Amino acid sequence: MVAEVHQRFWEAMARGDFITDAAVAAGTYRVQGRRWLIAAGGVRPRRGRDLDGRCLTFAEREEIALARAAGESMRSIAYRLGRSPSTISRELARNGEAPEQYRATSAHAAAWERASRPKRCKLATNVALRHKVEQDLEKKFSPEQIAGRVKQDFPDDPEMWVSAETIYQSLYVQSRGALRRELTKCLRTGRALREPGRKAGQRKNRIPDMVNICERPAEAADRAVPGHWEGDLIIGKNNATAIGTLVERTTGYVLLLHLPEGYKPEQVAPALAAKIQTVPALLRRSLTWDQGAEMRDWKQVAVAADIEIFFCDPYKPWQRGTNENTNGLLRQYFPKGTDLSVHSQADLDWVAAELNDRPRKRHGYAKPDELIGPLLQA
Q: Per residue of the chain (378 residues), what is the pLDDT tens digit?
A: 455 666 777 778 777 778 888 888 888 888 888 887 777 665 555 554 455 556 888 888 899 999 988 888 999 999 999 899 999 999 988 887 665 688 888 888 888 777 766 677 888 888 999 999 999 999 999 999 999 999 999 999 999 999 998 888 888 876 555 788 788 888 887 776 766 554 444 444 578 888 999 999 888 888 888 999 999 999 999 899 999 999 999 999 999 999 988 999 999 999 999 999 999 888 999 999 998 889 999 999 999 999 999 999 888 888 999 999 999 999 999 999 999 999 999 999 999 999 999 999 888 999 999 998 887 776
Q: Are residues 267 and 371 in the same domain?
A: yes
Residue at which a domain ends, from 82, 97, 115: 115
Q: Are residues 36 and 51 in the same domain?
A: yes
Percentage helix, strand, coil for the chain under 3-state DSSP, each rounded to 5: 50, 10, 40
Buried b (16+ CB within 10 A) or exposed e, 31-58: ebbeebbeeeeeebeeeeeebeeeebbb
Amino acid letter for position 352: A
Q: Are residues 243 and 373 in the same domain?
A: yes
* 115, 163, 243 from 340: Cα distances, Å: 53, 35, 7
Q: Are residues 365 and 346 in the same domain?
A: yes
In a domain, 32, yes or no: yes
Largest CA distance in the chain: 93
Q: Check residue 317 and give its pLDDT.
A: 87
Q: Are residues 109 and 140 in the same domain?
A: no
Q: Are residues 18 and 157 in the same domain?
A: no
In a domain, 202, yes or no: no
> What is the DSSP-derived secondary structure letter of residue 212?
B
Residue at which a domain ends, from 115, 130, 157: 115
* 201, 292, 334 from 214: Cα distances, Å: 20, 18, 32
* 1, 17, 26, 222, 297 from 31: Cα distances, Å: 14, 15, 12, 72, 90
In a domain, 99, yes or no: yes
Phi, psi (5° rounding) for residue 29?
-125, 170
Q: Are residues 220 and 349 in the same domain?
A: yes
Q: What is the DSSP string of 119-153?
A: ---HHHH-HHHHHHHHHHHHTT--HHHHHHHHHHH
Report the alpha-carbon distance of residue 248 to residue 287 in Å, rounded.
9
Q: Check residue 189 and give its pLDDT.
A: 77
In a domain, 201, yes or no: no
Q: Give the number of C-alpha atoms closer than 13 A to the C-alpha of residue 207, restricted to the C-beta side.
A: 24
User: Can you give the CATH number for the domain in which 373 is found?
Assistant: 3.30.420.10
- The answer to whether 169 and 121 are in contact (CB under 8 A) is yes
Q: Are residues 253 and 356 in the same domain?
A: yes
* 45, 191, 342 from 348: Cα distances, Å: 56, 24, 11
Say whether the peptide bond before residue 118 is cis (omega within 30 degrees of 0). yes
Residue at which a domain ends, from 115, 146, 171: 115
Q: Which uninterrupted H or E stretch holds 19?
A: helix 19-25
Q: Are residues 126 and 111 in the same domain?
A: no
In a domain, 203, yes or no: no
In a domain, 53, yes or no: yes
Q: Are residues 355 and 224 in the same domain?
A: yes
- The answer to whether 100 and 68 are in contact (CB under 8 A) is no
Q: Give residue 61's domain range.
A: 3-115
> What is the DSSP-derived secondary structure letter of residue 156?
T
Report the alpha-carbon distance of residue 278 to residue 195 in Å, rounded.
39
Amino acid letter for position 13: M
Four-CA torsion 167, 172, 178, 181, nearest 10 degrees = 110
Q: Check residue 99 and give its pLDDT.
A: 58
Q: Check residue 3 and give its pLDDT.
A: 57
The β-bridge relationship of strands 254-259 and 228-235 is unpaired
Amino acid letter for position 299: K
Q: What residues contact 255, with CB distance under 8 A and at least 6 apart?
A: 245, 246, 247, 275, 278, 279, 352
Q: Are residues 263 and 344 in the same domain?
A: yes
Q: Count of domains in the chain?
A: 3
In a domain, 196, yes or no: no
Q: Are residues 102 and 163 in the same domain?
A: no
In a domain, 168, yes or no: yes
